[in-house]
Structure 1
Amino acid sequence: ARNSNGTPNGFWDGLIDDFRIMDRVITATERAGIYNGGSGTEDQSGG
């Protein structure tokens, strides 16, 4: 993000502990289940 002067600011200062790439749009119910599940998943990419 940039402030009103065009200077970059608001950098992320943390860790990402769950990252997924889906091959389709997920439903709100699926998204809520992932968010509220509290546990990660193993890589299922097959590679």
Structure 2
Amino acid sequence: MTELGRSLIKEGKQENARETAKRAIKKGMSDELIGQLIELPVEQIHTIRIAMR
């Protein structure tokens, strides 16, 4: 696989994680629990939460 292909796959996985975090936030889950479940840094989840307001 090319470097571009790997980069696109990585970006797709990150976008999926962000969308999953948004759904979890809407369901009322804590940043810490979301971070544990989808392996995103709590700081990034907090940033997503603020952007959703």
Output the TM-score relative to the length of structure 1.
Answer: 0.29
In terms of fraction of residues, the more helix-rich structure is: 2
Higher RCO by CA contacts (8 Å cutoff, separation 6 or greater): 2
Structure number with greater Rg is 1
TM-score after normalising by structure 2: 0.26
